[in-house]
Amino acid sequence: MLARATPWLFLAVPLAFLVVFTYTPVLNMLYYSLTSWDGFGPDREFVGQANYTELFARPDLFQVFFVSLFYLASGAVQMVLALYFATVLSFDVRFRNFFKGVLFFPYLINGVAIGFVFLYFFQPGGTLDSVLGLFGARGDHLWLGDPHLVNWSLASVSLWRYLGLNFVLFLGAIQSIPGEIHEAAELDGANRWHQVRHIVLPGIRPVISLSAVLVVSGSLSAFEIPYIMTGGAGGSTTFVIQTVKLAFQFNKVGLASAAAVVLLAVVLLATWIQRLIVPDEGVDLV
Amino acid sequence: MTNHAPRGVAARSAVAAKYLSLVAASAATLLPLAVVLMAALKTGPESADSGPLSPPHDWFNLHNFQVAFTQGHMLRAFGNTAFILVFSVTGTVLIGSMTAYAIDRFRFPFRKLTVSLFLLASLVPGVTTQVATFQIVNSFGLFNTRWSAIALYTGTDIVSIIIFLQFMRAIPVSLDEAARIDGASPLRIYRTVILPLLRPAIATVVIVKGVVVYNDFYIPFLYMPSPELGTVSTSLFYFKGPYGAHWEVICAGAVLVIVPTLVVFLFLQRFIYNGFTRGATK
């Protein structure tokens, strides 16, 4: 009897945490999204799909999806750059460890500190303008104040921040490809480009597709950098900033929950599509 | 891969382009940080008058750091963060290893279902459910206590469970069996056989989790608004109001927060890379 209960003794606390902090919130959120609850009052009037209708009908609420596109674009650039640097640094390069460390380090830096570093960087007449001045491009720009520039500026900060993680993942995957394969290919007359095209790329396919999912869900849930740097001003409000404001400033928990459900659905959809395209060979936990 | 045979002009310019790209990327990474370090060493009037690229007059002017440290309550912030860090990392290690032990070493009804529950949860990004999670944390009376952050960091970490599962498989079952024949209980086996052998996995989880907890802004910001509970992230964030125009103090605050990370990184580089490769890909 005791023997049969043993695994459950080990699982009791983990399962309790899982249910309380993951599954209950998801279910509650689905329920709140159908009500007009304000977050603290006793009345939770059932309003059906009204929150969802409002969400999709109000362009000001819906535009946050377009903001994600900037982060998605920078995420794509980030993956290409990460792949390039991972390939270059997986072969013999002088000061290899130095370059590796420099590229990776931003990922470890505190998000608020990064926000401040780049607020200073993007000031009119600040670092970026001064550097551009050295190259002959004069003038001060409102990198964070101009609605046409702000999202590009913010998305480039996220590229700066996350390039290193992407790079290290690619590097690890490339280095796990056995060296003999490269040697054999070289004997057969393959040059560097052939090796990258036919050995490296197929060899790290699962990591590339994992990174793609991280980029998609990351661009949908961008929060820290834009919140710290602009507070969402000038058209830089992202989905999560909007949801946090709706829920905790305007007390529209119902509407905020509907927004969160939509976000969750989009992220799950992206993950599902990824699994369809690249079936997961690696995960077999049972 | 290391042929140093004579190269043609094309090969040489390819090498030059490669190094040029690496140097350009390093400059783009380091410049924003270097400039902030210089700004932190300038005096107030100096910072207003000089351009961001000009070096400070006195490279040893630590006044701004003193202001940031004392008036920004950074000591308290580091204390709060350390408190949360110790409990969440310990909790994550215990929960992750217990889950992995139960799943990998026992066959029981609903085992597959349990595993799928954990896996499915990894698909739900934490930020999306925060609106509803907030109500739950609040109903436990954890709002505005450091335990809210600890509970949330400890309770939702699927990555660490997956890391522990990977390592658990590498530990031969014959070891547990030998201990069982000697009369050890499952709890004792877990404590004296499994946990010590999981040391590399524990190192990985401590690093990955430690970075996340030290740097997180979202959870302390939402759940611990009281100034006495400020963590490194939130305390730094509140510099923005009072020091809005004093870039030299804000920059000093940012440097104060970055330096511990840099020191740890320089000392543990190899482990940190391994931690992240294992944490995310396997």
Work out the number of other CB atoms within 10 angstroms of the CB of residue A279: 9
pLDDT, residue B6, reads 54
Higher pLDDT, A273 or B75: B75
Contact assignment for B236 to A126 by CB distance below 8 Å:
no
pTM given for the model: 0.89
Per DSSP, the three-state class of A67 is helix
Looking at the complex, report in whole angstroms how far the Cα of residue A11 sits from the nearest Cα belonging to chain B. 6
pLDDT, residue A84, reads 95
Burial of B24 (0-12, 13-18, 19+ CB in 10 A): exposed
Nearest by CB to A168, from B214, B265, B273: name it.
B273
Average pLDDT for chain B = 89
Whether residue A2 contacts residue A9, with contact meaning beta carbons closer than 8 Å, is answered with: no
Q: Tokens 């840099």 label which residue? A: B262
Give percent above pLDDT 70 in chain B: 96
Contact assignment for B152 to A109 by CB distance below 8 Å:
no
Which tokens go with A274?
């990824």
B1 has pLDDT over 60: no
Which tokens go with B20?
């040029």
Measured between beta carbons, which residues in chain B are less than 8 angstroms from residue A68? none
Nearest by CB to B261, from A108, A115, A206: name it.
A108
pLDDT, residue B198, reads 94
Contact assignment for B211 to A108 by CB distance below 8 Å:
yes
Q: What is the mean pLDDT of residues B165-177?
A: 90
Tens of pLDDT along B226-251?
999 999 999 999 988 777 778 899 99
Looking at the complex, report in whole angstroms how far the Cα of residue A172 sits from the nearest Cα belonging to chain B. 6
Q: Which of residues 148-167 of A touch B (CB under 8 A)?
A: 160, 165
DSSP 8-state code for residue A123: S
Lowest mean pLDDT among B77-86, B98-107, B119-128: B119-128
Tell me, what amino acid is at A38? Answer: D
Contact assignment for B133 to A15 by CB distance below 8 Å:
no
Q: Report the distance separating Cα B132 and Cα B116, nearest Å.
A: 22
Q: Tokens 């030290």 label which residue? A: B214
pLDDT, residue A285, reads 45
Per DSSP, the three-state class of A46 is strand
Q: Which of residues 22-41 of A touch B (CB under 8 A)?
A: 22-26, 28-29, 32, 39
Q: Which of residues 211-250 of A touch B (CB under 8 A)?
A: 217, 221, 223-224, 228, 240, 243-244, 247-248
Q: What is the mean pLDDT of residues B57-77?
A: 91
Count interface pairs A-B at CB distance under 8 A. Answer: 265
- Using only C-alpha atoms, chain B has a radius of gyration, in whole angstroms, of 24
Q: Which of residues 163-192 of A touch B (CB under 8 A)?
A: 165, 168-169, 171-173, 179, 182-183, 186
Write the CA distances from A249 to A26, A245, A253, B189, integer angstroms: 21, 5, 10, 50
b/e per residue, B101-120, with b = 16+ CB within 10 A? Answer: bbbbbbeeeeeeebbeebee
Q: Report the distance separating Cα A256 and Cα B230, nearest Å.
A: 26
Work out the number of other CB atoms within 10 angstroms of the CB of residue A232: 19
Contact assignment for B217 to A111 by CB distance below 8 Å:
yes
> Is A265's Cβ below 8 Å from some Cβ in B?
no
Q: What is the mean pLDDT of residues B101-108?
A: 92
Contact assignment for A169 to B281 by CB distance below 8 Å:
yes
Nearest by CB to B154, from A17, A107, A168: name it.
A17
pLDDT, residue B282, reads 45
Whether residue B26 contacts residue A103, with contact meaning beta carbons closer than 8 Å, is answered with: yes
One digit per residue, pLDDT tens: chain A, 286 residues? 567 788 999 999 999 999 999 999 999 999 999 999 888 777 788 888 899 999 888 888 888 889 999 999 999 999 999 999 999 998 888 999 999 999 999 999 999 999 999 999 998 888 898 888 888 877 778 889 888 899 999 999 999 999 999 999 999 889 888 888 888 888 888 887 888 888 888 888 888 888 888 898 889 889 999 999 999 888 899 999 999 899 888 989 999 999 999 988 988 888 888 888 877 655 444 4
Q: What is the mean pLDDT of residues B259-281?
A: 85
Contact assignment for A13 to B95 by CB distance below 8 Å:
yes
pLDDT, residue A63, reads 86
Among chain B residues, the shortest Cα distance to A98 is held by B26
Tell me, what amino acid is at B151? Answer: A
Work out the number of other CB atoms within 10 angstroms of the CB of residue A250: 12
Q: Tokens 């059932």 label which residue? A: A46
Tens of pLDDT along B134-161?
999 999 999 999 999 999 999 868 888 8
DSSP 8-state code for residue A105: G
The per-residue DSSP string of chain B comes to --------HHHHHHHHHHHHHHHHHHHHHHHHHHHHHHHHTS-HHHHHHS-TTSPPS-TT--HHHHHHHHHTTHHHHHHHHHHHHHHHHHHHHHHHHHHHHHHHH---TTHHHHHHHHHHHTTS-GGGGHHHHHHHHHHTT-TTSHHHHHHHHHHT-HHHHHHHHHHHHHS-HHHHHHHHHTT--HHHHIIIIIHHHTHHHHHHHHHHHHHHHHH--HHHHHH--SGGG--HHHHHHTTTTTTTT-HHHHHHHHHHHHHHHHHHHHHHHHHHHHHHHHHHH-
pLDDT, residue B270, reads 86
Burial of B53 (0-12, 13-18, 19+ CB in 10 A): middle
Measured between beta carbons, which residues in chain B are less than 8 angstroms from residue A103? 25-26, 29
Lowest mean pLDDT among B45-54, B77-86, B111-120, B273-282: B273-282
